[in-house]
Structures are given as C-alpha cells and as structure tokens.
C-alpha cells in the first residue's frame, strides 16, 4: 500500500490543474499486481475536466483488471481536513460500479475505506435482460 500511495503522489505532480491549483493523483492496484495511475486534467470549460481517480480506474478497466485497491493523493491539501481530500461524487459512483470491493486509501489518513463508507446509498440500475436472437 505504501508503493501505491507513492505512485499516486508522483502522479499528482504531473496533474494539469491551472485553474484550481489543486493537483490530485490516483493509483489503482489490479488483481494482476499491475498499478495504473491517473491525475486530474482540467480544462477552461470546467465541466469537461476529469478526475485522477477516473483516469486510473479507466486505465485498469480497459486492461481487464479487477480493481483491488485505490490510493488518492491531493498534494496541495496536505494537512487539510479529510472532507477536502475525498473523491468527488462522480468518482464515488465510478468506484461503486467498477471497483466495488476495492480498499480506498487517502493520503495522510491512517484508515482504509470501502465504497460503502463513502457512498452508503449508491445509485444502481438493474442490468437489462438480453433478448434472444432468433
């Protein structure tokens, strides 16, 4: 887990955050022991930026990994309250759907979280039944 957090911190240093100056890095551990990293990437059209957690989760998912753990590092929030370092709502939904059993580690905290701790009543859709072809 220390290695995973180190990767997340290093990823945060490569974030593109010229508007918020709030750099975030994430590292995801896949079941194959591979680590996937991500950093937040901002855009002048704020709504189309993306979060570090989603970048890393997308990379692991594309590689076919089962996600075991996620580390999040907000290098510009050292000493900040936990609420300022947690994944946003969109990232929590991604974790719920794509990494529901992952342990979640937040830089500077001495506790591991599960998604149920962060999103106790997640949004879920029933999977549609597949129609048989004739």
**Active site positions, annotated:** 53
Nearest to 95 by CA among 64, 68, 63, 128: 68
3-state DSSP call for residue 38? strand
Which residues have C-beta within 8 Å of that of residue 10, sequence separation ≥ 6?
25, 37
From the number of C-beta atoms within 10 Å of its C-beta (0-12, 13-18, 19+), residue 22 rates as middle
Two structure tokens written together for 34: 């591979």
Specify the residue for token string 């947690």.
Answer: 86
């Amino acid at each position: 887990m220390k290695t995973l957090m180190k990767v997340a911190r290093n990823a945060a240093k490569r974030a593109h955050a010229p508007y918020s100056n709030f750099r975030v890095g994430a590292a995801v551990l896949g079941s194959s022991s591979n680590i996937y990293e991500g950093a937040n990437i901002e855009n002048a059209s704020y709504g189309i930026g993306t979060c570090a957690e989603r970048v890393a989760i997308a990379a692991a998912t594309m590689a076919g990994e089962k996600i075991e753990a996620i580390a999040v590092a907000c290098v510009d929030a050292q000493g900040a309250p936990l609420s300022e370092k947690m994944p946003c709502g969109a990232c929590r939904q991604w974790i719920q759907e794509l990494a529901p059993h992952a342990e979640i580690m937040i830089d500077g905290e001495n506790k591991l979280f599960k998604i149920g701790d962060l999103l106790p009543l997640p949004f879920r859709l029933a999977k549609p039944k597949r129609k048989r072809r004739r």
